[in-house]
Amino acid sequence: MANVYGKGLEYEKPPFTFHSTEWEGLARDRMSKNSLGYVCGNASTGETDRKNRAAFQKWSIVPRRLVKTTTFPSLETHLLGQTLPVPIAIAPVGVQRIFNPDGEIASAAAAASENVPYIFSSASASTLEDVAKANGNGTRWFQLYWPGNEHNDLTASILKRAKANGFSTLFVTLDTYKLGWRPSDLDNAYNPFLRPDSIGAALGYSDPVFRRQFKEKHGKEIEEDLQNAAKEWITRIFPDFSHGWEDLAFLRKHWDGPIVLKGIQSVQDAKMAVEHGMDGIVVSNHGGRQQDGGPASIDCLERISKAVGSKIDLLFDSGVRCGSDIAKALALGAKMVLIGRPYVYGLVLGGQDGVSHVLRSLLGELTMDLHLGGIPSISEKHLNIDCLEYSEC
């Protein structure tokens, strides 16, 4: 921010435009058909994704005037027992090497350089150990695609590695026990997890428990039979609907730190998360990639915030594309907003620098949206539903 406004026009030119609305279009021109279908594709007709976007426009930030201030608004946020300098995080996105050869290594390094927490996906194309190295002293969290109860030993092994490598919070994704009905990938006959090199299996292939199980069953190392190894890993991380609320006790026992459930949309489930002692929830519909015909995620946030906002930390994603989207989600009760596709477009367009540019731009926009709205900080006292006006447009 200060780089752009404080130095007049003498700031270092970014790798691509500041127009956040143009990032997707620019990235589309640079991707293969398969990668494009994978990142831009949605469930079925794309209705949920369209609703995610459209619903933001029903909320307006109504600016206040003559609010005396000489500094930019504070973006500091408090959640999960931590104070963090900015209220955005890198959403977990798998198989990032299909977007850039450096994949997660580039995005984790960018996150650290911008002081933005990084959420590692269980479907990453890089090992958690390598990502931790690239992320250095950054804040990093771990997203689990949760193997079925018959593989609790594998889950425990993965959690232990994550903790040992500095991932401090566990995110459990609950909306992806099976991949959604995604026509783009179906038309392309494309599943990055089942490519011969199974690019999304780094977590499994580097895990001692998974390696041992594979050898016991097939009598050979993973590297000698990648096709079968890929198939087996996919059944571990997308294990059908094998868990109930009571199984969260296992994760609590094996994870010494905050646990956040990702993919909550209903008030009932939000209340269940509170009852089961969870530390946070991500109100998310996976960017409309899983279930078609669902509600806009920001509308769910409003309802969930009213019902349980004072009892559990709320995080939010799905459809966030610019600074004012972030401001609206914060005003509706989120303490942190996860950035998904926009940083993937940055990765496509400029690797680590591209991701940094996206994060900086979003934070710059957010800062100006608040500043111009007379909102001195993102604390609930200053930024809340009273800053917004709702209208069916």
Give me the residues that bind ligand FNR (CB under 6 A), please: 38-39, 91-94, 121, 123, 143, 173, 262, 284, 286-287, 289, 317-320, 340-341, 344
**Annotated binding residue 74:** no
Nearest to 348 by CA among 27, 39, 90: 27
**What are the residues facing 261 on neighbouring strands?**
172, 281
Closest CB to ligand FNR among residues 171, 214? 171
**What are the residues facing 316 on neighbouring strands?**
283, 337
Active-site residue flag, 286: yes
CB 191 to ligand FNR: min, Å: 12
Catalytic site residue from 78, 243, 254, 286: 286
Residue 351 to residues 101, 103, 346, 367: CA-CA distances in angstroms? 9, 8, 7, 24
CB 289 to ligand FNR: min, Å: 6
* DSSP-assigned letter for residue 293: T
CB 297 to ligand FNR: min, Å: 8
Say what the alpha-carbon torsion angle 247, 253, 254, 258 is, to the nearest 10 degrees: 90
Nearest to 24 by CA among 255, 310, 349, 391: 349
Nearest to 351 by CA among 107, 134, 130: 107
Closest CB to ligand FNR among residues 106, 123? 123
**Annotated binding residue 244:** no
CB 193 to ligand FNR: min, Å: 10
**Annotated binding residue 279:** no
Cα within 13 Å of Cα(256), Cβ side: 5
Closest CB to ligand FNR among residues 104, 382? 104
**Annotated binding residue 195:** no
**What are the residues facing 84 on neighbouring strands?**
77
Whole-number Å distance between alpha carbons of 358 and 98: 19
Which residue matches tokens 């920001």? Answer: 298
Closest CB to ligand FNR among residues 73, 302? 302
**Annotated binding residue 206:** no
CB 43 to ligand FNR: min, Å: 12
Cα within 13 Å of Cα(274), Cβ side: 16
**Annotated binding residue 286:** yes
Known binding-site residues for FMN equal 92-94, 121, 143, 173, 262, 284, 317-321, 340-341
Known binding-site residues for glyoxylate equal 38, 145, 182, 286, 289
Positions marked catalytic: 286
